[in-house]
A and B are shown apart, each in its own frame.
Chain A
Amino acid sequence: KNQVEQSPQSLIILEGKNCTLQCNYTVSPFSNLRWYKQDTGRGPVSLTIMTFSENTKSNGRYTATLDADTKQSSLHITASQLSDSASYICVVSRSPYGGSQGNLIFGKGTKLSVKP
Chain B
Amino acid sequence: DAGVTQSPTHLIKTRGQHVTLRCSPISGHKSVSWYQQVLGQGPQFIFQYYEKEERGRGNFPDRFSARQFPNYSSELNVNALLLGDSALYLCASSLTGTSNQPQHFGDGTRLSIL
Q: Which A residues have a C-beta under 8 Å from some C-beta of B?
A: 4, 31-32, 34, 36, 41-46, 49, 51, 89, 91, 93-96, 98-104, 106-109
Contacts and interface: CB of A to CB of B under 8 A. Distances in A.
Contacts of B56: 100-103
Contacts of B81: none
Contact of B100 (A32, A41, A89): A32
Nearest to A42: B107
Interface of B: 4, 31, 33, 40-45, 48, 55-58, 88, 90, 92, 94, 97-100, 102-108, 110
Nearest to A9: B40
Contacts of A42: 107-108
Q: Which of A49, A95, A100 has the most CB of B within 10 A?
A: A100
A101 B97 contact: yes
Q: Which of B4, B44, B88 has the most CB of A within 10 A?
A: B88
A43 B108 contact: yes
B98 A98 contact: yes
Given A43-B105, A43-B106, A45-B105, A98 B42 contact: no
B41 A101 contact: no
15 contacts: A41-B108, A43-B4, A43-B106, A46-B104, A89-B42, A95-B99, A98-B98, A100-B48, A101-B31, A101-B33, A102-B56, A104-B45, A106-B44, A107-B42, A108-B41
A31 B110 CA distance: 31
